[in-house]
Amino acid sequence: MYGEMMQYYGLSKDLDKADYFETELYKKTLFSLETAIHSGGIIALTGIVGIGKTVALRRMQQSLKETNQVIVSKALATDKRRVNVNTLYMALFSDLPTSKDFKIPTQPEKRERKLQELIRKINKPIALFIDEAHDLHWRTLIDLKHLVETVEDAKGTLAIVVVGHPKLGNELRKPAMEEIGARAKVFNLDGLGQQKQHYIEWVLDKCSNTKINPHDIVAKEAIDLLAERLITPLQITHYLSLALVKGHTTGTKPVDREVIESVLSPDLDTLEPRLARQGYGLAVLCEHLNARRSDVKAYLRGQLAAGKTDEFNKEIHKLGIV
């Protein structure tokens, strides 16, 4: 069925396999980020779910490797909640140039001294990237400062780039996190803005066979509706794919506004998904609101008592995200 749909609309690859779409705002943000990396320190890149942080990160890492002016290191551990400073030392030692018989010291004091020894030999800035950093424990965030200082004591430069949802930026702004937050440079990757229609047409063009007009696949008014209702590249490619499958099933070509309406989720922009896109899922909200799961679920469904709802609303508005 999926292959038949691809053939029906003249698609050559999946919509999420298009090349990187870069707005002027994206370019400016990533240029500023790369400039900051050369200066070292703690750098945060935040953006809502599906905005393109991970793809942007890969492009930046590749660019840094190609220029060969900065050593790129990555913390690959999947469960960021369990990542600690030991994990980050492991990542650094794994990516720094060492001899074949090199063994990572297990004792902290020897480990720090060995890192400083390597830093003096390398004489290059290092960029350590940590994706999904919104899940890092606050103690690990604090330890980032000490790791940067350890490298600086050896006359080296270490930039630790933490990437995550807007929740990460909010955590760094808390008074209790001033030790790291006041030192961090925070950049935000914004949405597509007024270029959403252009992005949709670009995706269709990049993923279709030559000489096929995007409007022969999806009608202009249908593209306008997608741009009006959706925010991120992830949302757009997801719902566009659903619409194409539905359009093929009903024999609708190009996909029209009615097909788009039929696949869009009715609760797409309600409170729960809006908070989730910012990094505030149910578990995080329970912790932030200091409330039971049942109360938070009732709040998200609009079924909580008025007094308690007002209390939760005040706490949510403090985050500045809704």
Check if the beta carbon of residue 193 is closer than 8 Å to that of residue 26.
Answer: no
19 located within any domain: no
- pLDDT band at residue 322, thresholds of 50, 70 and 90? low
User: Given a cut of 70, is residue 320 above it in pLDDT?
Assistant: yes
Q: What is the model's pLDDT at position 18? A: 87
Check if the beta carbon of residue 226 is closer than 8 Å to that of residue 236.
Answer: yes
User: Given a cut of 90, is residue 32 above it in pLDDT?
Assistant: yes
The amino acid at 223? I
Same domain, 167 and 208: no
310 located within any domain: yes
Q: What is the model's pLDDT at position 211? A: 87
Q: Mind listing the pLDDT tens digit for each residue in 109-121?
A: 999 999 999 999 9
Whole domain around residue 280: which residue ranges? 271-319
- pLDDT band at residue 1, thresholds of 50, 70 and 90? low
220 located within any domain: yes
Q: Mind listing the pLDDT tens digit for each residue in 158-214?
A: 999 999 999 999 999 989 999 999 999 999 998 888 899 999 999 999 999 988 999
Q: Mind listing the pLDDT tens digit for each residue in 63-117?
A: 999 999 999 999 999 999 999 999 999 999 999 988 888 888 889 999 999 999 9
- Assign 3-class secondary structure to the chain: CHHHHHHHHCECCCHHHCCCCCCHHHHHHHHHHHHHHHHCEEEEEECCCCCCHHHHHHHHHHHHHHHCCCEEEECCCCCHHHCCHHHHHHHHHHHCCCCCCCCCCCCHHHHHHHHHHHHHHHCCCEEEEECCHHHCCHHHHHHHHHHHHHHHCCCCCEEEEEEECHHHHHHHHCHHHHHHHCCCEEEECCCCHHHHHHHHHHHHHHCECCCCCHHHHECHHHHHHHHHHCCCHHHHHHHHHHHHHHHHHHCCCCECHHHHHHHCCCCCCCHHHHHHHCCCCHHHHHHHHCCCHHHHHHHHCCCCCHHHHHHHHHHHHHCCCC
Same domain, 200 and 181: no
CA distance readout (Å), 222 to 71, 101, 239, 317: 46, 60, 12, 34
Q: Mind listing the pLDDT tens digit for each residue in 215-236?
A: 999 999 999 999 999 999 999 9
Same domain, 41 and 176: yes
Same domain, 183 and 59: yes
Same domain, 10 and 158: no
Check if the beta carbon of residue 20 is closer than 8 Å to that of residue 248.
Answer: no
254 located within any domain: yes
Q: Please report, rounded to a whole number, the percentage of residues in the chain having pLDDT higher than 70.
A: 99
Same domain, 141 and 177: yes
* 236/242 Cα distance (integer angstroms): 10
Q: Is the peptide bond before 108 cis (omega within 30 degrees of 0)?
A: no
The total of other beta-carbon atoms located within 10 Å of residue 174's CB is: 10
Same domain, 10 and 34: no
Q: What is the model's pLDDT at position 143? A: 95
Of 222, 239, 263, the one marking the end of a domain is 263
9 located within any domain: yes
Q: Which two tokens stand for residue 51?
A: 């905005």
Same domain, 28 and 10: no
Q: Mind listing the pLDDT tens digit for each residue in 35-74?
A: 999 999 999 999 999 999 998 889 899 999 999 999 999 9
The amino acid at 2? Y
Say what the pTM is: 0.90
Same domain, 28 and 168: yes
Q: What is the mean pLDDT of residues 286-292?
A: 92
Mean confidence (pLDDT) of the chain:
93
The total of other beta-carbon atoms located within 10 Å of residue 200's CB is: 24
Cβ neighbours for 238, distance < 8 A, ≥ 6 positions apart: none
Same domain, 54 and 147: yes
CA distance readout (Å), 146 to 83, 106, 140, 257: 15, 18, 10, 55
152 located within any domain: yes
Check if the beta carbon of residue 172 is closer than 8 Å to that of residue 44.
Answer: yes
Q: Which two tokens stand for residue 73?
A: 């290191």
- The number of folded domains in the chain is 3
Same domain, 136 and 225: no
User: Given a cut of 70, is residue 288 above it in pLDDT?
Assistant: yes
